[in-house]
Amino acid sequence: MIASAAFAAPWKFGVMSDTQWPTSPDNKNPNVAVNVIRHLNTEFVNKGVKFVIQVGDLTDTAGTNNINLDVRATFAQDLYNAGIGFYPLRGNHESGASAGVRFQQIFPQTQSCMNNQTPNMVATTIYGDLTNLANYPNYNSTDFCVGSNFSSKSDLAGLSYSFDYDNARFVLIDQFTKPAGTSHSNLDAADVAWVGTELAKKSANGHAFTFAHKGLITENHYDTLFGSSPENPGVTGGLTNSFMASLANNGVRYHMGGHDHMHNRAIVTSPDGLSKVQNLIAASNSYKFYIPAALGTWSTRETMLAQELFTVGYYIFTVDGPKVTVDHYAMPNGCNGDCDQTTDVIPYSGNTPTANGLFTEPVPFTKHETFGYSLNGKEVVVAQGGSYVLTDDTTKAIANGETGFITTSAAILSGTNDSTGKDYRGRALSKSVNTGWAPATTETASDILTLWGMQESLATDLSDTSNPNQNYRYVEPDTNRSDIYVLSMSYDPSRVTAEVLASGNFGLAVKDEVRGWVNAVAKNYGGTATFVTRPWAADDQLGTYGVDPATHTAWAVINHASDFAVASMNVANTAPVVAVTAPVADAFFDAPANITISADATDDVAVAKVEFYNGSVKIGQATAAPFSMTWNGIFSGSYTLKAVATDNEGMKTTSAPVSITVNNLDNVAPSVALTSPVDGATVFVGSTITLNATAADTDGTVSKVEFYNGAVKLGEDTTAPYTFSVPSAALGTYVFTAVATDNDGGVRTSSSVNVSVIPAPPGGTVNFTENFNSMGTTGTTKPAGWSIWNNSGGSNSTWSAATGIPANGANSVATMVINNTALTATTTPTGNNNNGYNAAAAGVTSDRMIATAPTSNAGTAIQLQLTNSSGGYIDWLKVGYDIYRINAPSSVNELQGFWLFYSLDNGISWTNVAALNPTVAGPGGVIIPNTVGKTTVAPTLITLAGKVNPGAPLLLRWVDDNGVPTSPDQMYGLDNVTVATPAAIQTTATTSGMVYNRATRLYTGTLTVTNATAGPIAGTLLVSLANLTPGVTLTNASGTGNGAPYIAKALAQPLNPGESVAIPLTFSNPSNTKINFTTVTYQ
């Protein structure tokens, strides 16, 4: 970019947006997108910005005691260490009064200008204990000021604030609850008046920028700066008109926000049609990537310019006197669409942050769009199919008091907006074409023109809209190429001789960073450079350029945008020439091979280096002729070699590829052994058998290890440690082997391992209790075996009385994800917490429980994991617990209490215990009234849908849904949990009256059970008929437990010692064999 006269040197600032993250199992992103932030910090440092503005949503939630705001503040330290200022705004995810107070504390620079004074740094598990700032990589303790004339709105000190830097004014606007607790969700008249006052402080020929979390019009959300929808009366009325008039009258060209998690540019017209401002929505820096919502009537006030979905991005503003250029850098997210909370959105290797400071590996952010304006230029909005024809000159620059101009005019003589890009909702994208001027230099015969906005409109390919989160196609944009157009500029004839004028080396030129002014057509995409001395003609093709001495103009047919001037032109750089000379094509080598690679390279000036590649992987380089290297220790395979030559000006050429083959003629087969299970091992039916193998190759590498049962291949592993799991093993004998293959095709089979799969015996037991009192009043760690899980894919309306809580499928219990964040310890939970509470029963501080209050998801689960450590399988359980209703809303707005689910396959599938589903008034289920207090669920028998074998896990989840967002949400606590298998009690039993009914073909009789204990028995007896004669079925059984049918007999009154109860028996006995069984009574 050509610097403007009479102004300071160009300077830059950066803009980023929403850095939300819900939870982070790997601790990289503790409710804040730390990994993304640190990569962006690297970008901002490398780009040389003076300061960075973040337009809100610093966190996913401010967190207990606003700890997550502290996390965000901590990781601004990378910027402070480089002397870069950081000026943030709040978003709706930290909108509360206490968050406002903490914001003022941890970002004092928004009031005082002094950066690097953040208190409340945090300790992290992956980045180290940063409460001691000496632990922060490259820590710089120096405080510094960036900017001047800081001012705040009195009731939003440091939240709505303004400042100056050089020739620009910055106004940052907060629209959330005030620190004093006053509600403030939309801008009011006082806010609008304050903005106008602050903008009026702008210097006469200075720039003004406004920032807020929400925009003038939003694309995914409907809420804006002024209300819940752009169509609200409060929005379309006077406030929006006044606000936009204030921006337009004070020279604000760009209002920038976030909130919508997409890159979007549009010119917005005020409701009264009198003011226009370009509304910029910043690309996502979080795990969320949204698509635009349905259009409303407000859409007629938008002229769409650009829209890109599903990218991570940031912005660099370069201010050069009267000119502002904005570069949008972005990259496709690493999730193939919308991300979940565990997937990193920065999709390249080496992206796990460490304590080693800023990232040093290349970051694949590329420039996706460049746009801008100048105070001394003009803007023309060109719709698709419209003409680019415009004229401009330096009159405005001279009127603004800028000096050094020689008076130049410019015109686009021909050209059409041939763009076909559309936004997600099908609106055609227009182009905002802007001009700007810098004064002539001693090298030019004209003043210097900058053109912005000629390039192809930035759009995401969403031709398949059936599932845009997955079906979008990312297209790497070319930010230089434009439609074909004809640009003409006048020149001062006194600055050129007749000989130069006729040489073809004088005309419309662009500034090359190395060679100075070069022919504008040399930067074209295609076309043939053809010089003429005459005016432009309508049939001139791409690449034609000319000078018209009669009118003192130079013109060219071009298809790129840049800085232009009329000047004597230097010869453009010529690319180097390179070819691989050794090895020759189709050469053969014996492995392991040492291969000498050579290349010839020449250039019109000099070759700086030649890099050698195998495919796309660089394997070495040479910086001086002869260009050669040795590639050592190469194993068998086919390889494609190429050389890339770079000249002294950075231009590159890639050679033709050369294919070679490496084979090991005397290959030694690899070694392989199965290390587990051991030979002769026995496991129970339904267990998972994990096969582990070791493999090595002395003269190469191991390509894969395959696992077999007999002759049947089970699977393979291509990387060590080599392993494969056989789930749900069936009854029988297995003969396992491992087969290793090396890179030369050598194969070796391990010794076999025999494993017997046998039925597990019944009789397994478990006896578990938990009252949570071990957590104490301040504990934030859950007891062993307990965890919190969230449904991250749903919302507060996903589960309802109509749908219930689905066990499996989309947005179900099975799709919940773990939340490893610490519990929040409090006696009085206040709601909206996905981490879970260590709470207390009313009035009894020491009586602890785990409580839930789901927010922004379908629900939260409290999970218990038990392991069957007995020697038999478990197929029945008695589960009891207390449910505490902590608060009671005015109306029922969600499902009552907790729904209980269990999993027998380690969380893959779940089963609901329907008999314990809570209701308000029945019928059936557990009745939980809509009042504060405790409901006790007495130990209830559950017949499992399968078996929990010895050593296998049993998972239980108590699930609380998130209802319609009535405030406050209902909150529930879980306490006094018991999980036990029924226990045998001492009784005697006799059978009598067994007869055969010919009509029903059933045997009937009576079983008399007598209390043989020393005390009374109350409740329900579970009378089991173990060892029942094979082929005989107890047809009136209540269920199966401990591997045998049982009858549940509810006692009308306690059964005293020696007293008996009669239980009818009905059998199916097709073979008419003798009916035998052993009676065992459980409770």
CATH number of the domain enclosing 1060: 2.60.40.290
Q: Exposed/middle/buried for 282, CB within 10 Å: 0-12, 13-18, 19+?
A: buried
Per-residue pLDDT, averaged over 51-72, amounts to 87
* Cα–Cα distance measured from residue 605 to residue 653, given in angstroms and rounded to the nearest whole number: 14
- pLDDT band at 233, cuts 50/70/90? very low
Least confident of 377-391, 461-475, 1032-1046: 461-475
Q: Are residues 444 and 562 in the same domain?
A: yes
pLDDT above 70: residue 520: yes
Residue 906 in any domain: the answer is: yes
Among 771, 717, 711, smallest CA distance to 736 is for 711
pLDDT of residue 428: 92
pLDDT of residue 794: 67
Q: Which residues contact 300 (CB under 8 A, 6 or more apart)?
A: none
pLDDT of residue 843: 74
For residue 651, give both structure tokens.
């231009």
Q: Are residues 336 and 426 in the same domain?
A: no
Overall residue count recorded for the chain in this entry: 1083
Secondary structure (3-state) at 775: helix
- pLDDT band at 942, cuts 50/70/90? very high
Per-residue pLDDT, averaged over 295-323, amounts to 92
Q: Are residues 1071 and 1035 in the same domain?
A: yes
pLDDT above 90: residue 575: no
Residue 475 in any domain: the answer is: yes
Strands (E), 378-417: 379-382, 390-393, 409-415
Q: Which residues contact 712 (CB under 8 A, 6 or more apart)?
A: none
For residue 941, the cross-strand partners are 878
Q: Are residues 1035 and 1004 in the same domain?
A: yes
Q: Answer positive or negative: Cα dihedral of 596, 600, 606, 611.
A: negative
pLDDT above 70: residue 588: yes
Residue 1060 in any domain: the answer is: yes
Q: What is the CATH number of the domain that holds 869?
A: 2.60.120.260
- pLDDT band at 473, cuts 50/70/90? low
Q: Exposed/middle/buried for 61, CB within 10 Å: 0-12, 13-18, 19+?
A: buried
Number of domains, the chain: 6
Predicted confidence (pLDDT) per residue in 878-897, tens digit: 999 999 988 766 455 567 88
Count CA atoms within 13 Å of residue 276 on its CB side. 13
* Cα–Cα distance measured from residue 24 to residue 1012, given in angstroms and rounded to the nearest whole number: 57
- pLDDT band at 509, cuts 50/70/90? very high
pLDDT of residue 572: 63
Phi and psi at residue 716, in whole multiples of 5°? -150, 165
Residue 2 in any domain: the answer is: no
CA angle 1068, 1069, 1070 (to 5 degrees): 110
Q: Are residues 794 and 745 in the same domain?
A: no
Instruction: Name the average pLDDT for the chain.
Output: 88
Q: Is 329 left (phi over 0), alpha (psi -120 to 50) or beta?
A: beta
Whether 619 contacts 612, CB under 8 Å: yes
Phi and psi at residue 91, in whole multiples of 5°? -125, 180
Residue 905 or residue 158, greater confidence: 158
Q: Are residues 309 and 336 in the same domain?
A: yes
pLDDT of residue 17: 96
Residue 376 in any domain: the answer is: no
The one-letter amino acid code at 610 reads V
Whether 957 contacts 900, CB under 8 Å: yes
Least confident of 333-337, 605-609, 622-626: 333-337
For residue 571, give both structure tokens.
């010869």
Q: Burial code of 947-979, b = ≥16 C-beta within 10 A, e = fewer?
A: bbbbebebbbbbbbbbbeeeebbbbbbbbbbbb
Phi and psi at residue 594, in whole multiples of 5°? -110, 115
Whether 430 contacts 304, CB under 8 Å: yes
pLDDT of residue 476: 61
Q: Exposed/middle/buried for 909, CB within 10 Å: 0-12, 13-18, 19+?
A: middle
Residue 186 or residue 415, greater confidence: 415
Alpha helix ranges (H) inside 107-237: 109-112, 189-199, 233-236
For residue 473, the cross-strand partners are 461
* Cα–Cα distance measured from residue 925 to residue 881, given in angstroms and rounded to the nearest whole number: 14
- DSSP H/E element including 100: helix 97-106
Secondary structure (3-state) at 757: strand
Whether 483 contacts 454, CB under 8 Å: yes
pLDDT of residue 27: 55
Q: Are residues 82 and 171 in the same domain?
A: yes
Whether 623 contacts 613, CB under 8 Å: no
Residue 890 or residue 19, greater confidence: 19
Least confident of 2-6, 111-115, 146-150, 390-394: 2-6
Phi and psi at residue 40, in whole multiples of 5°? -65, -40
Radius of gyration for the chain, computed over Cα atoms and rounded to the nearest angstrom: 38
Measure the N-to-C terminal CA separation of the chain; round to a whole number of Å.
Answer: 85
Q: What is the DSSP code string of 973-1015?
A: EEEEEEEEPPPEE-EEEEEEEEEEETTTTEEEEEEEEEE-SSS
Phi and psi at residue 248, in whole multiples of 5°? -65, -40
pTM as predicted: 0.59
Q: Are residues 702 and 641 in the same domain?
A: no
Residue 373 in any domain: the answer is: no
pLDDT above 50: residue 354: no
pLDDT above 90: residue 1000: no
Question: CA torsion 126→27→952→1080, rounded to 10°?
Answer: 120
pLDDT of residue 335: 63
* Cα–Cα distance measured from residue 573 to residue 522, given in angstroms and rounded to the nearest whole number: 10
Q: 688: domain range? A: 671-758
Choose the final residue of a domain: 980, 995, 1012.
980
pLDDT of residue 739: 96
Residue 592, preceding peptide bond in cis (omega within 30° of 0) = yes
pLDDT above 70: residue 968: no
Among 474, 488, 255, smallest CA distance to 390 is for 488
Phi and psi at residue 301, in whole multiples of 5°? -90, 5
pLDDT above 60: residue 344: no
Per-residue pLDDT, averaged over 457-477, amounts to 65
Question: CA torsion 601→607→612→613, rounded to 10°?
Answer: -100
- pLDDT band at 210, cuts 50/70/90? very high
Residue 1053 in any domain: the answer is: yes
* Cα–Cα distance measured from residue 182 to residue 160, given in angstroms and rounded to the nearest whole number: 15
- pLDDT band at 921, cuts 50/70/90? confident
* Cα–Cα distance measured from residue 245 to residue 239, given in angstroms and rounded to the nearest whole number: 10
pLDDT above 90: residue 488: yes
Whole-number Cα distances in Å, 251 to 432, 603, 996 = 16, 50, 101
Q: What is the CATH number of the domain that holds 156?
A: 3.60.21.10
Per-residue pLDDT, averaged over 974-1001, amounts to 92
* Cα–Cα distance measured from residue 567 to residue 445, given in angstroms and rounded to the nearest whole number: 5
Q: Are residues 170 and 80 in the same domain?
A: yes
Predicted confidence (pLDDT) per residue in 1005-1064, tens digit: 999 999 999 999 999 999 999 999 999 999 999 999 999 999 999 999 999 999 999 999
pLDDT of residue 274: 94
Predicted confidence (pLDDT) per residue in 434-445, tens digit: 999 999 999 999
Q: Are residues 850 and 953 in the same domain?
A: yes
Per-residue pLDDT, averaged over 638-666, amounts to 90
Percent of all residues in the chain with a pLDDT value above 90, rounded to a whole number:
61
Centroid of chain to Cα 20: 9
Residue 179 in any domain: the answer is: yes
pLDDT above 80: residue 584: yes
Q: Are residues 1024 and 926 in the same domain?
A: no
Phi and psi at residue 854, in whole multiples of 5°? -60, 145
pLDDT of residue 133: 67
Q: What is the CATH number of the domain that holds 741?
A: 2.60.40.10
* Cα–Cα distance measured from residue 386 to residue 418, given in angstroms and rounded to the nearest whole number: 8
DSSP single-letter state for residue 728: S
Choose the final residue of a domain: 364, 380, 401.
364
Predicted confidence (pLDDT) per residue in 125-139, tens digit: 555 666 666 667 778
- pLDDT band at 377, cuts 50/70/90? very high
pLDDT above 70: residue 472: no
Choose the final residue of a domain: 612, 633, 663.
663
pLDDT above 70: residue 925: yes
Q: Are residues 261 and 344 in the same domain?
A: yes
* Cα–Cα distance measured from residue 427 to residue 217, given in angstroms and rounded to the nearest whole number: 15
Q: Which residues contact 497 (CB under 8 A, 6 or more apart)?
A: none
Whether 205 contacts 322, CB under 8 Å: yes
